[in-house]
Amino acid sequence: MLRDVDDFLAGRIGRRELLRGGAGLALGAGLAGCGLGDSGSGSEKETEKVVKAKVDGDLVYFNWSEYLDPALIKKFEKQHGVKVRQSNFDSMSSMMAKLRSGNRYDVIFPDQSYAPRLIAANQLLKIDHDQLKNYDKVWDFFHDPKYDPGAEHTVPYGLYATGVIWNEDKIGGMAGSWDDLFREDAKGKIFVLDDYQEAIGMANLRNGLDLSTVDPDEIDKSKQMLIDQKPLLRGYSTDDIQNLINGNAWIHHGWNGDVVNLRNQVKNPESYRFEKAKEGIPVGTDTIAIPANAEHPGTALLFLDFMLDPENASQNVAYFGYPMAVKGAEDAFAKIAEEDPAVQITLDDVTNGQQYAYLTGEDKALWDRTWTEVKAA
């Protein structure tokens, strides 16, 4: 929602989209309640619709903000003679909430821990690989990833790592550790990601625990660490780029590519640095998927194909700073990583690194409850 308003102010979306996109939030929980019951788990049959990759309407697009080159959106619009109606989410949870309350999108960008949930609930359309001219450009590893066997429902998007971004003009002496998010001398200038997985995961790693632990005692220890950290914090936010630019943040829990994106927006790019914590970092894959209830799945398939085109992928990598798992886009990221090795993330990291597990039932509830308690404390 905040991103919606942000985009609205920046003129990226019209007022109508803002109102529609934000209705659930702006009008409060009561109105969101009206969506009760009209979504829910779909049937498997619905995910197996036969769809041809051809224009069947404008593209309704739902992504993180600043997570795709706007020039590519324009290019796609021109190439296919359609409009891309954009709106943004600010966390995986809020993406899920919008889907749950009955909003219909043509393309969404779930990460590797949310894609399985959507697949299990029959919410994602099965993708006919014959409809994607560029499917063979996808790195072989992602033809059968763990989170989506056979890549039946998703194509890979950015590969990311979570670490610490800081502004070298304001503060130095970083330790290359999660301890940097607990520095007394940056009190009131530190942000932690407003994302239950990233926040609890960070504390787990700093405590030397497994990233995705569901042991109640261990989680309790991490909860206490996050609560003890609160007096040092300026806030919880996923808007790492803007918080650093407007000076509210000196040190920000954030994603590796965002620092590259940020540098593209400021006059002193060399001041903004990224580090990976030595205790371990979470890595992951974002994906592009088509909801089963998409109104324009044909246009959506064209969009997936468009993003897998090596030339477009290269352009996107240069804009958003994350590697894409597309053959022919490696050079674009190699150039970025050469300038700043800290943002490097490789296929090896993604296969061997720590990834957020797909939690269900009591385990998911434990994490949710923990995050609520941290926020409320």
Partner 1 sequence: MSEQRFATTLLLPGGLWLLLLFALPLGLVLAASVGSTDDIGNTIYGWHPENYKQAFDPLFLPVLLRSVGFALATVVLCMLIGYPVAYYIARYGGRWKHMLIALVVLPFFVNYLVRTYAWVALLADEGLVNGAITNVGIRDEGIRFLNTSFAVVGGLVYGYLAFMILPIYAAIDRMDEALVEAGKDLYGTPWNTFRHVTWPATFQGVLAGSVLVFLPAVGDFVSAQLLGGPGTYMIGNLIQQQFLGADNWPFGAALTAILMAFLSIWMVLYLRSAARASREAAL
Residues in the chain: 377
- Please report whether residue 214 would count as binding partner 1 according to CB under 8 A: no
- Please report whether residue 360 would count as binding partner 1 according to CB under 8 A: yes
Report, in Å, the least distance between residue 34 CB and partner 1: 6
Nearer to partner 1, 32 or 336 (CB): 32
The distance of Cα 125 from the centroid of its chain, to the nearest Å, equals 20
Nearer to partner 1, 40 or 149 (CB): 40
Compute how many residues bind partner 1; rule: CB under 8 A.
56
Nearer to partner 1, 123 or 299 (CB): 123
Report, in Å, the least distance between residue 174 CB and partner 1: 20
Burial call 290-328: b when 16+ CB within 10 Å, e when fewer: bbbbbebbbbbbbbbbbbbbbebbbbbbbbbbbbbbbee
Nearer to partner 1, 132 or 366 (CB): 366
Please identify which residue in 7, 12, 21, 22 interacts with partner 1, judged by CB under 8 A: 22
Report, in Å, the least distance between residue 183 CB and partner 1: 15
Question: Near partner 1 by CB under 8 A, which window of 53-61, 225-233, 255-263, 328-336?
Answer: 225-233
Nearer to partner 1, 142 or 250 (CB): 250
CB count within 10 Å of CB 329 equals 24
Q: Which of residues 40-59 bind partner 1 (CB under 8 A)?
A: 40-41
Q: Can you list the positions of beta strands (E) in 221-264?
A: 233-236, 251-255
d(CA 149, CA 260): 31
Q: Is residue 63 within a helix (H) or strand (E), and if so which, with residue range?
A: strand 59-64
d(CA 94, CA 377): 22
d(CA 357, CA 135): 27
- Please report whether residue 36 would count as binding partner 1 according to CB under 8 A: yes
Alpha carbon of 149 to those of 56, 116, 141, 282: distances in Å?
A: 28, 10, 11, 21
- Please report whether residue 178 would count as binding partner 1 according to CB under 8 A: no
Nearer to partner 1, 42 or 328 (CB): 42
Q: Which of residues 261-290 bind partner 1 (CB under 8 A)?
A: none
Q: Is residue 7 within a helix (H) or strand (E), and if so which, with residue range?
A: helix 2-9
Give me the 111-140 binding string for partner 1, x by CB under 8 A, dash otherwise: ------xx-xx-x-----------------
d(CA 43, CA 48): 9
For residues 317 and 310, the answer to whether their CB atoms sit within 8 Å is no
- Please report whether residue 291 would count as binding partner 1 according to CB under 8 A: no
Q: Which of residues 228-257 bind partner 1 (CB under 8 A)?
A: 230-231, 233-236, 246-248
Report the interhelical angle of 196-206 vs 361-376 (nearest 10°): 90
Nearer to partner 1, 55 or 377 (CB): 377
**Which of these, 120, 70, 132, lies nearest to 96 by C-alpha position?**
120
Nearer to partner 1, 5 or 342 (CB): 5
Question: Near partner 1 by CB under 8 A, which window of 88-96, 201-209, 216-224, 261-269?
Answer: 88-96
Please identify which residue in 58, 75, 93, 128 interacts with partner 1, judged by CB under 8 A: 93
DSSP 153-172: SEEEEEEEEEEEEEETTT--
Question: Near partner 1 by CB under 8 A, which window of 33-41, 210-218, 283-291, 329-337?
Answer: 33-41
Nearer to partner 1, 28 or 149 (CB): 28
Start-to-end CA span in the chain (Å): 24
Tokens of 137: 């450009």
List interacting residues with partner 1 (CB under 8 A). 1-2, 5-6, 8-9, 22, 24-26, 28-34, 36-37, 39-41, 91, 93-94, 96-97, 100, 117-118, 120-121, 123, 188, 196, 230-231, 233-236, 246-248, 360-361, 364-365, 368-369, 371-373, 375-377
